[in-house]
Amino acid sequence: MDPVGKAPGRGAYLHDVRACWEAALRGPLARSLRVELSDEERQSLRAYMESLPDGTQA
């Protein structure tokens, strides 16, 4: 994760809303990065996702 967008290399932009991350982790994220996410990477991404707002607040 690179919240400020300054890390070198390729990346994918996701909103900082849990629903966006849930959808991305179902497959589109790995396809857009052209990688196969390991179980450890998925676990790390899900842990980060849990810290995000769920997007239902006004």
Tell me, letter by letter, the H, E, C secondary structure of 1-58: CCCCCCCCCCCCCCCCCHHHHHHHHCCHHHHHHCCCCCHHHHHHHHHHHHCCCCCCCC
**Are 33 and 14 spatial neighbours (Cβ–Cβ below 8 Å)?**
no
- State the pLDDT at residue 56: 60
- State the pLDDT at residue 2: 81
**Are 41 and 49 spatial neighbours (Cβ–Cβ below 8 Å)?**
no
**Are 50 and 35 spatial neighbours (Cβ–Cβ below 8 Å)?**
no
- State the pLDDT at residue 58: 44
pLDDT, averaged in runs of 10, over the chain (58 residues): 80 89 92 91 94 72
- State the pLDDT at residue 12: 87
- State the pLDDT at residue 10: 75
